[in-house]
């Protein structure tokens, strides 16, 4: 009788003299991970190569800061080349933790590794293990298929609707698995479906339905505004659940305000699609946009916020003579004494007609986290020069053979944070194609090639590719607003001193986050003059709540 093959993901522990200590310290992970040890860079490389040949994923390398046959940075480079998806950690011995720090810590800013930790000095070093668990959690949510899936999606491999649904589920933090209709699991789901089977099918805890869009999935899972009891008036209705809307929801509901949030897509907005935000205050090892958004959502729910996801707002009826404002959706209306506009911005479309049929079939707007795994071993292109494009490129480089960032400018320096530029410069899988734009593309059923044009010379070049990720800057998302709410020439909502003087009251401008309409506020990227950063959006979301309180107090008087 043959022994069952051990397919648990592996943690490789590397130390010249303390492998037994590390194996004992990491024993708490032994049930779910395969622990392997090595005494040098080359030894660890051989171990990882053997695991790879066995079909075992390496989730993490943990190494001392000093190795006998290599520098730590060179070791990480070698291991990263073999296993680009593994998380990389320095667990420095306390004898030389401070001595080695000045040399090694700069590597964090270039993405050479993920954490610089002090090796545990005693039992229950939970600070150390919190860092390890966070990194393993991040690896588990982005690299392997989930061990336990909340939902099963049955569809053809490149079905764009199924891909959009899975991306929505991923962003909502719901583990899911895809099955081909001809697979054993796919046939079983189809057989249990009550009706004429049409794909995609979604199996949620035994209930099977055939959604035609992400919207169908969202309303089936999260309800609609019509569920609100008739006659109920919220203290504040928040339109949009990006960082600004989520922060406003947390602070408003924690202070006792009846709070309702309406979001057209997944929680988190554009920030929710970021694979790793490294410059957000309080998260030294970074946090994915999805995790940040879901933590904020859970926090707001704990205080009583009601969320309605998948419902685009279609209009805003302004309250007159003491009546509440009314936020309109196709799934019902939300009456509210105040409204916070936090609907953010949408990625601009690439107006290349030949590429339109491939949206969802190789052409993706935003980071499209779900599509990343499908890019394994492929050559992909990212169009855009902002932080979202940089984060997408770094994440895709864990899977794709090569990632090319296409920008119209001479470089990324004017539009991207320095820490991301350093990380991109260091990563051998990423290159920047400056002074270029996408003008054409094609393929048989899905994207196979694109054409780039040099913006200076006009020279054209054709490139084979399996994926084109478009992060082209953004346009405000507020077509639903009535004309009474002032906007600037670009469509952003004006607040405070941005409001034209003819709309000031008694010679004074509205409060800094208040629009020209009393009781209507704006926060985050949608607001004219905002910084377009996650932290500043969250700050505005928190700052708008005292203004809401002041307005409600005025209404009460």
Topology alike, domains 151-221 and 225-346+476-556: no
Indicate if the pLDDT at residue 1 is higher than 50. no
Indicate if the pLDDT at residue 387 is higher than 60. yes
- In the CATH hierarchy, which top-level class contains the domain 151-221? alpha beta
> Cα torsion at 517, 522, 526, 532 (round to 10°)?
140
The predicted model gives 57-70 an average pLDDT of 94
Query: What pLDDT, in 10s, does the model give residues 135-173?
Result: 998 888 777 667 777 899 999 887 888 888 988 888 888
The predicted model gives 323-338 an average pLDDT of 94
CA dist 200 and 218 (Å) reads 15
pLDDT for position 426: 86
CA dist 457 and 202 (Å) reads 50
Dihedral class, residue 224 (left if φ above 0, else alpha if ψ from -120 to 50, else beta):
beta
Q: Name, in order, each residue with C-beta under 8 angstroms of 263's C-beta and a sequence gap of 6 or more.
A: 240, 241, 245, 307, 308, 309, 310, 311
353-472 CATH: 3.50.50.60
Query: What pLDDT, in 10s, does the model give residues 331-362?
Result: 999 999 999 999 998 888 888 999 999 988 89
Q: Name, in order, each residue with C-beta under 8 angstroms of 408's C-beta and a sequence gap of 6 or more.
A: 385, 435, 436, 437, 455
CA dist 258 and 547 (Å) reads 15
3-state secondary structure of 231: coil
CATH topology of domain 10-142: Rossmann fold (3.40.50)
What are the structural domain ranges in the chain? 10-142, 151-221, 225-346+476-556, 353-472
pLDDT for position 5: 78
| pLDDT tier for residue 292 given thresholds of 50, 70 and 90 | very high
Pull the structure tokens for residue 504: 């000031």
Lowest mean pLDDT of 138-147, 327-336, 484-493, 538-547, name the range.
Answer: 138-147
pLDDT for position 3: 55
225-346+476-556 CATH: 3.50.50.60
Indicate if the pLDDT at residue 478 is higher than 50. yes
Q: Cα separations (Å) of 177 from 50, 185, 187, 203, 477?
A: 28, 10, 14, 10, 32
Name the pairing type of β-strands 345-347 and 474-476.
antiparallel
Pull the structure tokens for residue 141: 């949510």
pLDDT for position 557: 66
| pLDDT tier for residue 284 given thresholds of 50, 70 and 90 | confident
| pLDDT tier for residue 91 given thresholds of 50, 70 and 90 | very high
């Amino acid at each position: 009788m043959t022994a069952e093959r051990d397919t648990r993901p592996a943690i490789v522990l590397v130390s010249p003299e303390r492998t037994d200590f590390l194996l004992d310290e990491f024993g708490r992970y032994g049930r779910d991970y395969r622990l392997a040890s090595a005494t040098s860079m080359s030894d660890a490389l051989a171990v990882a190569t053997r695991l790879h040949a066995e079909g075992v994923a390496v989730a993490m390398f943990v190494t001392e800061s000093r190795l006998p046959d290599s520098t730590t940075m060179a070791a990480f480079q070698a291991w990263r080349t073999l296993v680009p998806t593994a998380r990389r950690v320095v667990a420095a011995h306390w004898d030389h933790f401070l001595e080695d720090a000045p040399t090694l810590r700069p590597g964090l800013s270039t993405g050479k590794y993920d954490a610089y930790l002090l090796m545990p000095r005693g039992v229950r070093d939970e600070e150390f293990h919190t860092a390890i668990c966070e990194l393993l959690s991040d690896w588990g949510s982005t690299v392997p298929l989930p061990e336990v899936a909340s939902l099963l999606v049955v569809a053809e491999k490149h079905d764009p609707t199924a891909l959009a649904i899975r991306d929505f589920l991923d962003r909502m933090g719901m583990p899911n698995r895809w099955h081909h209709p001809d697979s054993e699991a796919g046939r079983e789901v189809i057989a249990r479906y009550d009706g004429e089977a049409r794909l995609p099918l979604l199996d949620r805890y035994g209930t099977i339905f055939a959604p035609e869009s992400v919207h169908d999935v969202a309303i089936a899972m999260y309800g609609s505004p019509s569920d609100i009891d008739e006659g109920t008036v919220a203290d504040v209705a928040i339109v949009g659940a990006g960082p600004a809307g989520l922060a406003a929801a947390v602070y408003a509901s924690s202070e006792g305000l009846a709070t309702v949030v309406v979001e057209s897509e997944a929680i988190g907005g554009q920030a929710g699609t970021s694979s790793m935000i490294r410059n957000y205050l309080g998260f030294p090892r970074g946090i994915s946009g999805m995790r940040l958004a879901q933590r904020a959502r859970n926090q707001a729910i704990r205080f009583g916020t009601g969320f309605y996801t998948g419902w685009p707002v279609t209009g805003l009826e302004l309250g007159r003579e003491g009546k509440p404002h009314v936020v309109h959706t196709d799934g019902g209306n939300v009456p509210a004494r105040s409204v916070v506009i936090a609907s953010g911005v949408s990625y601009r479309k690439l107006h290349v007609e030949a590429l339109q049929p491939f949206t969802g079939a190789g052409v993706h707007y935003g980071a499209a986290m779900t599509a990343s795994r499908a890019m394994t071993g492929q050559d992909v292109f990212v169009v855009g020069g902002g932080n979202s494009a940089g984060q997408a490129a770094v994440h895709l480089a864990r899977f794709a053979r090569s990632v090319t960032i296409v920008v119209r400018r001479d470089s990324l320096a004017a539009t991207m944070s320095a820490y991301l530029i350093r990380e991109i410069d260091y990563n051998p899988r990423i290159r920047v194609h400056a002074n270029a734009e996408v003008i054409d593309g094609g393929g048989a059923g899905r994207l196979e090639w694109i054409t780039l044009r040099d913006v200076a010379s006009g020279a054209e070049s054709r490139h084979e590719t399996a994926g084109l990720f478009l992060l082209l800057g953004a346009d405000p998302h507020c077509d639903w607003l009535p004309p009474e709410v002032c906007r600037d020439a670009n469509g952003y909502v004006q607040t405070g001193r941005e409001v034209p003087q003819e709309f000031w009251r008694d010679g004074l401008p509205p409060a800094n986050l208040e629009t020209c309409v009393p009781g209507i506020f704006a926060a985050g990227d949608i607001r004219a003059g905002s910084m377009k950063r996650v932290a500043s959006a969250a700050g505005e979301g928190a700052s708008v709540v005292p203004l809401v309180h002041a307005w409600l107090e005025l209404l009460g008087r």
